[in-house]
Amino acid sequence: MSNIVVKKQIKRFFETGKVKELTDELINECRLSIRLDGEDFVRAMVSPSLLEEFVLGFLLTRGLIQRAEDVSSIEITDNLALVIRNEQAKTSLPSATLLESTGNRNVDLAQDFRVYKKIDGTGFRVPAKVIINCVRMLSKMPVFNRTGGTHCAILFSPAGESLFQAEDLGRHNTVDKVIGGGLKKGIDLSDCWLAVSGRLPSDMVFKAAMVGIPLIASVSAVTSDGVKTGERAGMTVVGFVRDKRLNCYCHPERVVV
């Protein structure tokens, strides 16, 4: 695959009339095709990094796998990911063909395949100060600082330890990469929380809910359906983490002072 950043000669124009030639850095993008159990499944536009983590997270948040052991092999060559699940996963979980028939929507999966589980999270607590300090780390991600063109996501422990981080041109992709990275490392996702750079509509909250993450926090806004999804899932949803404050929209018992 290509590098995540490419260089381009540009001209910069100023209000004063000055024109300057310089080298700018751009986010690279690639179209990755995923073939699941021999069936063409989906094409995704992604940044060319952490592709195996992306595939794992993508499948996990759609209920196509439940654990890393469900995958017998992943082979990524050029722009194609070949994924084979073990026999038990093939028979007990949805197929790529069945998934496509639902329109490939997360909420449909929850209703059709009953993979939606209410989060317990008993005893999971994160200090508000930890959330605020950790979310600041999103703006320090390296590719974002070079280009301004990525979304960022970081998986944290309750104490604020960074467990896995990712950047991508798409905010949904960053969440898939972080979740897949956590799965690959054997991290207990039910004992982590997730910081993201983009807004939190229902599908973003749902991704975290699918894998049992009890708290998701964003520097940006939360939508009404994002809150409804959090309420239904038993997940704490936090938005507008900035300027030494945060807004908690549901299940505030997990945020402590």
How confident is residue 98, by pLDDT bands cut at 50, 70 and 90? low
Summarised one tens digit per residue, pLDDT across range 72-95 is 999 999 899 999 999 999 998 888
Q: Any idea what the CATH number is for the domain that residue 246 is in?
A: 3.40.140.10
End-of-domain residue from the set 113, 139, 174: 113
User: Is 212 inside any structural domain?
Assistant: yes
Tens-digit pLDDT profile for residues 35-45: 999 999 999 99
On whether residue 118 sits in a domain, the answer given is: no
Domain boundary among 79, 113, 147: 113
8 A C-beta contact, residue 151 and residue 198: yes
Share of the chain above pLDDT 70, in %: 91
**Local confidence band at 122 (pLDDT 50, 70, 90 cut-offs):** confident
Residue-level pLDDT at 167: 97
Considering the domain architecture, whether residues 74 and 171 belong to the same structural domain is answered as no
Residues 93 and 46 in one domain: yes
Q: What is the token pair recorded at 227?
A: 């809150």
Whole-model pTM: value is 0.90
Is the domain of 182 the same as that of 68?
A: no
251 & 146 share domain: yes
pLDDT, position 112: 36
Predicted pLDDT at 2: 60
Residue 175 included in any domain: yes
Number of domains in the chain: 2
Q: What dihedral do alpha carbons 245, 212, 46, 34 form, nearest 10°?
A: -170
Q: Report the 10 Å Cβ neighbour count for 99.
A: 24
What pLDDT does 106 receive?
Answer: 43
Q: Which two tokens stand for residue 231?
A: 């309420």
Same domain, 130 and 109: no
CATH code of residue 60 = 3.10.20.10
The pLDDT score that the predictor gives to residue 7 is 94
In this prediction, residues 138-164 reach a mean pLDDT of: 96
User: Domain limits at 192?
Assistant: 126-256
Q: What is the mean pLDDT of the chain?
A: 91
Q: Are 106 and 135 in the same domain?
A: no
Give domain status of residue 145, yes or no. Answer: yes
Q: Over 80: is that where the pLDDT of 110 sits?
A: no
State the pLDDT at residue 195. 98
